[in-house]
Structure 1
Amino acid sequence: MAAKSNGVVSYFKDIKAEFKKITWPTLNDVKESTIKTLVVMLFFTVVIAVYDSVFSNILKGVLNYFK
């Protein structure tokens, strides 16, 4: 049982050591990335909405033609 306990402690020590090696982004980097992501999402949302509207109107026109 002691060997298993020692393994768990060693595991968490290794995790702590690995976390110290991480280079975390600055707050400004995070803000900049967040804004860029939101702008790209907004752009593609608009593009998809326009395509949806255009194809919906085309489909309605085709279906009304065959009524």
Structure 2
Amino acid sequence: MAGSNSTVQQRRGGAGKFFREMKAELKKVVWPTKKELINYTIVVFVTVIFIAVLIGIVDGIFSKLFELLMHLVG
């Protein structure tokens, strides 16, 4: 039972300890500069647009193939 008692004591101090540790970790973070943030955002937008176009093209191809298949079968 002594082992479970120490576990309960470690859990106490919970919220305050959590926020203190969180604050300490956030001080270690290297935040991007404004220029880096803008560049990263542009990269994400371009990537999303590229993937959307790629999926649209593949979807169109499969749609035409399905229509052709249904026309041949039916």
Normalising by structure 2, what TM-score?
A: 0.72
Count of residues paired in the alignment: 63
- CA spacing shift, 1:65–1:25, aligned 2, 3 Å: same
Counterpart of 1:49 (choices 41, 52, 56) is: 56
- What's the secondary structure of 1:39's corresponding residue? helix
- RMSD of equivalent CA atoms: 1.7
Match of 2:47, as an amino acid?
A: V
Note the alpha carbon deviations across 1:4-34, whole angstroms, 9 max, x for none.
Answer: 4xx2434332322222111111111111001
- Which secondary structure does the structure 1 equivalent of 2:31 belong to? coil
Question: 2:34 & 2:60 partners in 1: Cα distance?
Answer: 39
Instruction: Determine whether 1:40 maps to 2:47.
Output: yes
Fraction of identical pairs, as percent: 30
- In the TM superposition, 1:1-67 aligns within 5 A as 4=12, 7=13, 8-67=15-74
